[in-house]
Structure 1
Amino acid sequence: MKAHVKALVVGGGAVGTSIAYHLGKAGWDTMLLERDELTSGSTWHAAGLLPYFNMSFATTHIHDYSIKFYKQLEAETGLNAGFSVCGNLRMARTQDRMDEYALYSSTAETVGVPHEWMTPAQIKDRWPLIRTDDLKGAIYHNTDGYINPADVTMAMAKGARQHGVTIERKWQVDGYEWTGSEWRVTVTKMVEKGGNLVASDEQTVITAEHVVTATGNHAQRTAQLLGINIPAIPVEHQFIVMEQDPALVEWRKTNPEHPVIRDADAQSYVREERGGWILGVYEKNAPARFEYGVPDSFRADLFQLDLERIEQQYMEMIHRIPSCEECGLKDDFNGPICYTPDGNPLVGPGPGLRNMWLAEGFSFGITAAGGTGYYLAQMMVEGEAEIDMASLDPKRYGSWMTTEFAARKNEECYDHVYILHHPDEERPAARPLRTSPAYDRQAARGAQFGWVNGWERPNYYAPEGFSDHDARSFRRGGWWQYAVEEAKAIREGVGLVDATAFTKHIVKGAGAAAFLDWFTTNKLPRVGRINLTYALTDAGTTRTEYTIVRLAEDEFYLVSAGAWTAYDADYLRKSIEDKEAEFGRIECQDVTTQWGVFAIAGPKSRDVLNAVIKDADPATALSNKRFPWLSAKQIELGMCPVNAIRVAYTGELGWELHHPIEMQNYLFDLLEKAGEPHGMKLVGARAQNWLRQEKSYRAFGNELGRDATPLEADLPRFVDLSKDFRGKDAMQTLGIRSKCVTLLIDGPDDADPWGREALYDGDTKVGRLTSGGYSVAFGKSIGMGYVKPELAEVGTKLKVRMQRELWDATVVEDSPYDPKNETIRKDG
């Protein structure tokens, strides 16, 4: 066994072997360790399906790469991966389900995934064994299908060896130690004893510059060894193999194999298996397993089948394929499949760790393995992947996440595989968990809460008895009318938004100013002023957006997106560690939970605050002269000390009121009472999202990310090219590959874009939306997105795909609402 390698991959399933293959192909000296045999985890009992269908832009890219990669493995390795390209038929019983497929189609279209639509008659004509009288239609992928998990893993393993990768079996990792420059990994030889796998007395240490964990069901043990949280916990997954179906056997004498048949409304999939059928289900009440680690006695084992739990899905299969009713049960599988709370894997740098990469939590591991290896290798070797992988980053869950939370959310995610995935869906398990003090007051006033990084945040406010679940839709849901009223309140009067979830850091010390000047793209503000700025990746793309408030010459208050607290904190702290010797002492504190935030905005916002501000001259305290736009001051509202920032994400006159979180209820009551004479409304995140698009304010995770630079986001005013900053040269080298634009859309009367739709110039796809919604200022749909630079001129006519049709869209000037910022600078 090698004593030192550049990259050590831990885990010999499909994911681990793919990562090893792609690192070896990139020229890295790589070794893979497996504690048992290759494929002995979930890989061996996986059904091997390769569905394209996924609502995530990044995950769709991953699946697309995998499907194409597996098709060329045999030519490279000489091993047949067992890929049956039979296609995938995803059926719909309701119009809502067809609407869901239309929304998915938008994402698939932007990635270039081939698919077609089928009517019930077309399905019946092509595959007469399928009952279609209760269907609305289907979406069909003819380029995917299913694969033999063991065969594809062995093919990737052989390919990895051909690229110089060493693969060692029966070695278990028992310790990780970071020396400051490399990892010391303690490994123990595993031996067979009485049918079990046990640790021997033989141990050794491997040093590695980089480590990748792809430990599947053993992720909780990995988390304990590393001292971090990894919300990847297995859930039981059942599928059954049936005896031969005579009708199917007869059909196959003269016809090709059926596609994988997905009856989403029945929570199941069916595929052929040697003249019979395999039925796999995603039923309710499937339990999480191994919350605190996999027992040593559990190897390539299974759980006892629970047929009662899947009885409904079995009857639905007979309904859909009547010929299978007389088929007996041939085999059954009930094994652990790892999940995460949102169903997407955890791929990227481990929190707080150097050169430790996670590839955990793969519920569709065979589908994702190839692409994960490709894009993770890009991140490790080149510094960034060609697509934005932030949505899969392990740090999207912070240190507040516990084992109990992950287990309950993973169970929910499993039984939500086939629910209608509304873009406005909110899942209820393990909620409420993180609540600001004003939560109960907001709930009493009709708040319908969304979930962001564990926080409960009002999405909108509705009358008593209103059901958020019933309000969801792929078009304009029942909540839409309330969001319209809230948006109008801010444009015409005054509204109050709870923005407590914002990420907040204090950076201070003798080296703070020099560090932040290097770390971010814009000029640093003067004391008492603020600026908007960006931290870049070393590849020159956007890593984080910050509002920086300069509290003193050597002290700064950084505000960033609420969904990305751990993600931002990790990058900030590691960057400080790297530069502190050069710039001097720097302290960094995450103060997110110490400060609540209310954003008050609208033409009457100053009137509300004037009624409660304590000042020698209250009438002028908030005037432009004493409190100009883009400045910050410490003020007193009643008895509450407030760090007020004159900025508004809605583009109206307004302030962010950062207050001690223990005083939040006092401040809420004070503002609510002061707002009554002015008709102040409580406003949720959905209206705010619409309003920021009217101002062309880019959002991190939408317009801003690791696949575009600030210049491509068309934000040169926040980039000071006269100074040196991290990623500057790389940003300039990339140039302008595409450009961010705002579009007004003449769409359907009952729907708005969601921010994942394809953009067309005639019949040519030229870009995609990254945000979408409704504009109360213009009375039509609005969106933001990226197009080829030559199509970014104001007035350019394009088309946007919504609900399978193309609708007119026009590129408008940046900040189509109040482009001169006259309302936001209004004096008083």
Structure 2
Amino acid sequence: MKTHVKALVVGGGAVGTSIAYHLGRAGWDTLLLERDELTAGSTWHAAGLLPYFNMSYATTHLHDYSIKFYKGLEEETGLNPGFFVVGNLRMAQTSARMDEYRLYAATAETVGVPFEWMTPDQIRERWPLLRTDDLEGALFHPTDGYINPADVTMAMAKGARQLGVTVERKWQVDSYTWTGSEWRVGLSKMVERGGNLVPSGETSEIVAEHVVTATGNHAQRTARLLGIKIPAIPVEHQYIVTEPDPALVEYRKTHEQHPVLRDADAKWYVREERGGWILGPYEDGAPARFLYDVPESFRADLFPLDLDRIEEEYMSMIHRIPSSETVGLKDDYNGPICYTPDGNPLLGPAPGLRNMWLAEGFSFGITAAGGAGHYLAQVMTEGEAEIDMASLDPRRYGPWMTTEYAARKNEEAYSHVYVLHHPDEERPAARPLRTAPAYDRQKALGAQFGTVNGWERPNYYGPKDAPEGFDHDARSFRRGNWWRHAASEAQAVREAAGLIDATAFAKHRVWGPGATAFLDWFTTNRLPKVGRINLTYALTVAGTIRVEYTIIRTGEDDYTLISSGGNHAYDQDFLYHAIAEKEPEVGRINVQDVTTQWGVFALAGPKARDILSTLIRDAEPDTALSNKRFPWLSVRDIELGMVPVRALRVAYTGELGWELHHPIEMQTHLWDKLMEAGAPHGMVPVGARAQNWLRQEKSYRAYGNELGRDATPLEAGLDRFVDLGKEFHGKAAMQDKGVRTACVTLLIDGPEDADPWGREALYQGDRRVGRLTSGGWSAAFGKSIGMGYVVPDCATPGTRLEVRIMGDLWPAEVTEDSPYDPQNLSLRADG
């Protein structure tokens, strides 16, 4: 066995073999290790389905690549991967489910995924064994289907070997040690003893520049060996195989296979299997397993079937396929499949470690394996993938994540596979967990909360005493019950004032002799002067946007960096790695995470100065908040009553406003004082949804929407925050890319009952020219609004386009940047 390689891949399931294959194709000397036999984990008992359907833009790309990649494996390797391109019929019993499909189709359109719409009559005519009288319609993917998991894994393994990859079985990893430049990986040779797989006593060591873990159900053991947290925990998934169905056998004498059938409202999939049916339900109550480790006695094993748990889904299959009622059960499977709290895999750098990569938590591993290997290999060998991988990055979860939290959220993710995926959904498991002190005050005022990196954050404020029939939890793909409340909040900010809780912001203090030189190299904009604020960006090695920062400079070499609360650990890991890289060159750099020390309220609106002036304690209170003493984009330490506050003259809503950073332990007192002072001026508490609409009226880009690892600051239209007169990380790569696409704001004459969500396709005539990345309602213009990317020749203000909303095309017009108050008169208003 080799003792030194460029890349070591640990885990020989579908995901691991795909990664090894793609690293081999990139020319890396790669070794794949498997502790048992290839496919011995969840791969062997997977049903092998290849569904395109996914609401995530990045995951849709993974699935799309996989399906296309698998179709060429036989020609390349001579091994048939067992791909049956039968299509995928996703049925809908309700109009809400059809709306879900319309929203999904918008994402599919932007990726180029083929699909067709079908009526109940068309379904019945084509597949007469199906009952369709209670269906609204269906979405049909003609190019996917199902595959044999073992065969496709073996085909990828052979392809990997042909590319020079070495595959070794029966070796278990026992330790990982980072030497400062490479990984030393301790191994044990495994042997079978009494039906168990145990260490033989023979050991070895491999030195690797890079390590990828694709350990599936063993992710918790991997986490312990690495000293990190990996919220990938298996959940039981069971499916049953029936005896041959005579009606199906007769049907197949003259017809092709049925597509993979999905009755999402009944929470199951069904496909043909040797004249019978496979039923795979996603029922409530499926438990998490192996929270800490996989027993040595558990190899290619299964759990006992729990038919009572899936009785409802079984009966609904009989309802949908009446001929299956008299067919007996032939086989059953109940095995562990890894999940994550949001259902997306963990694919990318391991938090806090160098050259350690995770490929864990694949609940749809066969579907995603091909794409996972392709895009992870791009990140590893080229620095970045061609798509933004942030939504899959393992660092999206912070160290606050516990085993209990992950287990309960993973169970929820499993049971929600076929629950309606509303864009405004807020899943309830393991909540509330992280709450700022003002949480109870806000809840008493009718706040309806969402979560940001575990933090509870008000989405909107509904009626404290809800009228009969009002359901805060009623979600919609159109305008939900919350819409009118968010619209009122947005109007209040424009006309009076609003108070927004922004405590979840990530906050890092960076100081020391090397801080200034480091930040000048790390970020694109000129550094602010002492007492001032700047908006700036840190780039990837590919010149695309990795982090958006608000930088506060409080001393010559003393700064605070504020970034997205949803990406706290993700951004922190990037910052810490960059400091470690640059510190030997520029001098000592101190960094401290102060996120939980400081709460943040944003006060914005034309009455904001009047409200603060009643609370400020200053020798000259009448002028303390004037433009002369407190100009736009400046920072001052002030006192609001008894609370010391670091106030920033900025406002994400585009109105006169301040961010009020305060000691977290004084938050409830400050909240009470602000609410009391604001009441006479018409101030209201405001949630995140109204703020999201308001920032689009100002064309303020949002990280994770307009800003990400697939666009440069120049493509995002952020030239004014890029100082080309200095050298900074990623500059040359950014310039080399040019402007491939352009970020624009659009005003949309959409339907009366719906707004765009930020994933819709944009058209000019028959040409698809871009996609939305944000969407919502504009209180200022009385119509829908959106932001997104288009081809450069469609970015000129006044250009007329169309946007696909709920299946139909609606007129949209590209506006100038910041259509509301383009001269920033409100932001700069004096008192």
TM-score scaled by structure 2? 0.99
Rounded Cα–Cα distance in structure 2 between residues aligned with 1:320 and 1:72: 35
Partner of 2:368: 368
Q: Does 1:683 align with 2:686?
A: yes
**Higher mean C-alpha deviation, range 268-277 or range 458-467:** 458-467
Q: How does 1:307-706 map to 2 (within 5 A)?
A: 307-466=307-466, 470-706=473-709
CA separation of 1:270 and 1:386: change in aligned 2, threshold 3 A: same
CA separation of 1:469 and 1:224: change in aligned 2, threshold 3 A: farther
Question: Per-residue displacement from partner, 1:44-74 (whole Å, max 9, x unpaired)?
Answer: 0000000000000000000000000000000
Partner of 1:137: 137
Partner of 2:771: 768
Q: How does 1:186-205 map to 2 (within 5 A)?
A: 186-205=186-205
Partner of 1:746: 749
Counterpart residue type for residue 570 of structure 1? D
CA separation of 1:465 and 1:264: change in aligned 2, threshold 3 A: farther
Is residue 46–residue 149 contact of structure 1 (8 Å, CA) maintained in 2?
yes
Rounded Cα–Cα distance in structure 1 between residues aligned with 2:651 and 2:459: 18
Is residue 462–residue 472 contact of structure 2 (8 Å, CA) maintained in 1?
no
Rounded Cα–Cα distance in structure 2 between residues aligned with 1:135 and 1:69: 34
Rounded Cα–Cα distance in structure 1 between residues aligned with 2:160 and 2:281: 34
Partner of 2:36: 36
Rounded Cα–Cα distance in structure 1 between residues aligned with 2:667 and 2:175: 45
Counterpart residue type for residue 738 of structure 2? G
Question: Per-residue displacement from partner, 1:652-681 (whole Å, max 9, x unpaired)?
Answer: 000000000000001001111111111110
Rounded Cα–Cα distance in structure 2 between residues aligned with 1:378 and 1:170: 29
Partner of 2:301: 301
Question: Per-residue displacement from partner, 1:404-423 (whole Å, max 9, x unpaired)?
Answer: 00000000000000001100
Is residue 229–residue 399 contact of structure 1 (8 Å, CA) maintained in 2?
yes
SS at match of 1:49: coil
Counterpart residue type for residue 234 of structure 1? P
Is there any run of 5+ residues in structure 1 with no aligned partner, and where? none
SS at match of 2:715: coil
Counterpart residue type for residue 3 of structure 2? A
Question: Per-residue displacement from partner, 1:48-101 (whole Å, max 9, x unpaired)?
Answer: 000000000000000000000000000000000000000000000000000000
SS at match of 1:12: coil
CA separation of 1:359 and 1:468: change in aligned 2, threshold 3 A: farther
Question: Per-residue displacement from partner, 1:495-553 (whole Å, max 9, x unpaired)?
Answer: 00000000000000000000000000000000000000000001100000000000100
Question: Per-residue displacement from partner, 1:456-512 (whole Å, max 9, x unpaired)?
Answer: 000000012546654310001110000000000100001000000000000000000
Question: Per-residue displacement from partner, 1:741-763 (whole Å, max 9, x unpaired)?
Answer: 00000000000000000000101
Rounded Cα–Cα distance in structure 2 between residues aligned with 1:620 and 1:773: 38
Q: How does 1:99-114 map to 2 (within 5 A)?
A: 99-114=99-114
Structure 2 counterpart of 1:709, from 709, 712, 720: 712
Counterpart residue type for residue 378 of structure 2? Q
Q: Does 1:67 align with 2:70?
A: no
Counterpart residue type for residue 388 of structure 2? D
SS at match of 1:818: coil
SS at match of 1:658: strand
Rounded Cα–Cα distance in structure 2 between residues aligned with 1:255 and 1:581: 70
Counterpart residue type for residue 66 of structure 2? S
Partner of 1:803: 806
Question: Per-residue displacement from partner, 1:766-795 (whole Å, max 9, x unpaired)?
Answer: 100000000000000000000001110000
Is residue 745–residue 788 contact of structure 2 (8 Å, CA) maintained in 1?
yes
Rounded Cα–Cα distance in structure 2 between residues aligned with 1:504 and 1:722: 28
Counterpart residue type for residue 547 of structure 1? T
Partner of 1:778: 781
Q: How much has 1:569 moved relative to structure 2?
A: 0.5
Counterpart residue type for residue 318 of structure 1? I
SS at match of 1:366: helix
Question: Per-residue displacement from partner, 1:242-281 (whole Å, max 9, x unpaired)?
Answer: 0000000000000000000100000001000000000000
Rounded Cα–Cα distance in structure 2 between residues aligned with 1:415 and 1:29: 41
Counterpart residue type for residue 801 of structure 1? R
Rounded Cα–Cα distance in structure 2 between residues aligned with 1:445 and 1:223: 42
**Higher mean C-alpha deviation, range 127-136 or range 471-480:** 471-480
Question: Per-residue displacement from partner, 1:401-449 (whole Å, max 9, x unpaired)?
Answer: 0000000000000000000110000000000000000000100100000
Q: How much has 1:15 moved relative to structure 2?
A: 0.0
Rounded Cα–Cα distance in structure 1 between residues aligned with 2:196 and 2:574: 42
SS at match of 1:44: helix
Counterpart residue type for residue 723 of structure 1? K
Partner of 1:47: 47
Is residue 768–residue 785 contact of structure 1 (8 Å, CA) maintained in 2?
yes
SS at match of 1:50: coil
Question: Per-residue displacement from partner, 1:567-612 (whole Å, max 9, x unpaired)?
Answer: 1100001000000011100011111111000000000000110000
Partner of 2:85: 85
Rounded Cα–Cα distance in structure 1 between residues aligned with 2:620 and 2:480: 47
SS at match of 1:79: coil
Is residue 550–residue 557 contact of structure 1 (8 Å, CA) maintained in 2?
yes
Counterpart residue type for residue 565 of structure 1? H
Rounded Cα–Cα distance in structure 2 between residues aligned with 1:543 and 1:109: 26
Rounded Cα–Cα distance in structure 2 between residues aligned with 1:6 and 1:651: 50
Rounded Cα–Cα distance in structure 2 between residues aligned with 1:193 and 1:201: 13
Rounded Cα–Cα distance in structure 2 between residues aligned with 1:16 and 1:557: 40
Rounded Cα–Cα distance in structure 1 between residues aligned with 2:86 and 2:283: 25
Partner of 1:269: 269
Is residue 472–residue 481 contact of structure 2 (8 Å, CA) maintained in 1?
no
Q: Segments of 4+ in structure 1 off by > 6 A?
A: none
Rounded Cα–Cα distance in structure 2 between residues aligned with 1:682 and 1:293: 46
Rounded Cα–Cα distance in structure 1 between residues aligned with 2:281 and 2:812: 41
SS at match of 2:358: strand
Q: How does 1:251-266 map to 2 (within 5 A)?
A: 251-266=251-266
Counterpart residue type for residue 522 of structure 2? F
Is residue 57–residue 107 contact of structure 1 (8 Å, CA) maintained in 2?
yes
Q: How much has 1:202 moved relative to structure 2?
A: 0.6
Rounded Cα–Cα distance in structure 2 between residues aligned with 1:260 and 1:471: 31
Is residue 472–residue 482 contact of structure 2 (8 Å, CA) maintained in 1?
no
Is there any run of 5+ residues in structure 2 with no aligned partner, and where? none
Q: Does 1:239 align with 2:242?
A: no
CA separation of 1:702 and 1:468: change in aligned 2, threshold 3 A: farther
Counterpart residue type for residue 415 of structure 1? S
Counterpart residue type for residue 625 of structure 2? L
Rounded Cα–Cα distance in structure 2 between residues aligned with 1:660 and 1:583: 32
Is residue 468–residue 479 contact of structure 1 (8 Å, CA) maintained in 2?
no
SS at match of 2:290: coil
Rounded Cα–Cα distance in structure 1 between residues aligned with 2:464 and 2:624: 38
Is residue 448–residue 468 contact of structure 1 (8 Å, CA) maintained in 2?
no
